[in-house]
Amino acid sequence: MKRFIIRRLLAAVPVLLGVLLLTFALSRVLPDDFAARRGGEHASAEMLADLRWAHGLDKPLFVEWDRLFAGNFAAAFDSQFFAHCRRLFTLDFGRSWSALRPVSHMLLEGLGPSLAITVPVMLASVAISLVLGILAVFVWRTSWDRWLLGACTLNMSIPGVALILTAQYFVAFEWGWAPVHGWAGGRGLVLPVVLGVLIGLGADVRFCRAVLLKEMREDFMRTALAKGVGGWRLCAVHALRPALGPLLARWLPRLPFLLTGALFLERIFGIPGLGGMMADAIAARDFPVINVMTFIAAMLHLFGQSLADVLSAWMEPRIRIS
């Protein structure tokens, strides 16, 4: 088991480095001169040079080859890319180019509103999809099963943005059951959380149903039936344990959703969370914020994927030799 965990952690390293390289390359390849944008039309050459120096944009992109060949390794690797990696790994996120504030302060301010939406959405989505998936196994090949599959298909067919805008108009604007816009604390979270659960619920229920039905056809389930095990215990205990592997592999990599998944909800309802901050940063080409958010999302995704692999291997030893 230890070897399996080490292999999974080592496999995550090149992926993380690739994310760092890709985000850095995109921030430098795009035709955007931050110094010229910040200095304005009438900025002098000295002012532009000072701005590039203050933000480290005067350094080479990756390696200064002349100093490298001369043996001056410290100066050779004093580049924008290695400074970018050093800041992220030491949690020195720098300052926002548009807001002119420390990115860490912006993250802390937006973390609370984002988690207030995404944590209930994630927990409720997992619980409801699991319960409905188990229920679908009990009513398999009945009219209730067909109605449930039809509802799931309808849910998957409705675009998330259309569902959000329709609910906002009728529930909030026409009927006045919830705030239309703005951060209103607990009362203002009910509608965004409900909508966040509904978006994607159909796909999760169908996936749970398919995984549980597959386990119900296995030989060990026939043995359990022959021994008199049936009903709720057969599905919720005997079938659920081997099904947890693929279910965890589907749900745990969604951990970045805790920070970035509520982007549409936050923008449409005016909630000052991290999703809205990320959208503003993309619109303003605020690369310090974009790089930090991408790095954190990649870390959470790799952690969730690795945790899902480890838990699946713990529950199913055959996975460890794959």
Average pLDDT over residues 265-282: 84
84 and 183 together in one domain: no
Domain endpoint, select from 56, 89, 122: 89
161 and 76 together in one domain: no
Q: Say if residue 148's pLDDT is above 70.
A: yes
Residue 186 domain boundaries: 111-321
78 and 124 together in one domain: no
Average pLDDT over residues 192-202: 90
Indicate the range of 151-160, 222-231, 281-290 predicted with least confidence.
222-231
Domain contains 188: yes
What residues contact residue 289 under an 8 Å CB cut-off, 6+ apart? 96, 97, 98, 103, 106, 277, 278, 281
Q: What is the identity of the amino acid at 316? A: E
Domain contains 202: yes
What residues contact residue 254 under an 8 Å CB cut-off, 6+ apart? 122, 261, 304
Q: How high is the mean pLDDT of the chain?
A: 80
Pick 312 or 15 by higher pLDDT.
15
126 and 187 together in one domain: yes
70 and 16 together in one domain: yes
Q: Say if residue 41's pLDDT is above 80.
A: no
Q: Say if residue 164's pLDDT is above 70.
A: yes
172 and 38 together in one domain: no
85 and 132 together in one domain: no
Residue 37: CA count within 13 A, CB half-sphere? 9
Q: What is the value of pTM for the model shown? A: 0.78
Average pLDDT over residues 141-153: 91
165 and 67 together in one domain: no
259 and 181 together in one domain: yes
Q: Say if residue 279's pLDDT is above 80.
A: yes
Domain contains 106: no
Domain count, the chain: 2
- Give me the pLDDT at residue 136, please: 86
Does residue 234 contact residue 222 with C-beta atoms inside 8 Å? no
Domain contains 99: no
Domain contains 138: yes
- Give me the pLDDT at residue 233, please: 65
Domain endpoint, select from 39, 54, 89: 89
Domain contains 126: yes
Domain contains 34: yes
76 and 134 together in one domain: no
Pick 69 or 131 by higher pLDDT.
131
Instruction: Check which CATH number belongs to the domain holding 261 and give it.
Output: 1.10.3720.10
84 and 134 together in one domain: no
- At 60-80, the pLDDT tens digits run 777 777 777 777 777 777 788
Pick 86 or 68 by higher pLDDT.
86
Q: Please, which pLDDT band fits residue 299 given cuts at 50, 70 and 90?
A: confident
120 and 234 together in one domain: yes
Q: Please, which pLDDT band fits residue 235 given cuts at 50, 70 and 90?
A: low
Domain contains 102: no
Domain endpoint, select from 54, 89, 124: 89
Q: Say if residue 207's pLDDT is above 80.
A: yes
| Distances in whole angstroms, Cα of residue 316 to Cα of each of 11, 243, 306, 310, 313 | 20, 10, 15, 10, 5
3-state secondary structure the chain: CHHHHHHHHHHHHHHHHHHHHHHHHHHHHCCCCHHHHHHCCCCCHHHHHHHHHHCCCCCCCCCCHHHHHCCCHHHHCCCHHHHHHHHHHCCCCCECCCCCCEHHHHHHHHHHHHHHHHHHHHHHHHHHHHHHHHHHHHCCCCHHHHHHHHHHHHHHHCCHHHHHHHHHHHHHHHCCCCCCCCCCHHHHHHHHHHHHHHCCHHHHHHHHHHHHHHHHCCHHHHHHHHCCCCHHHHHHHHHHHHHHHHHHHHHHHHCCHHHHCCHHHHHHHCCCCHHHHHHHHHHHCCHHHHHHHHHHHHHHHHHHHHHHHHHHHHHCHHHHHC
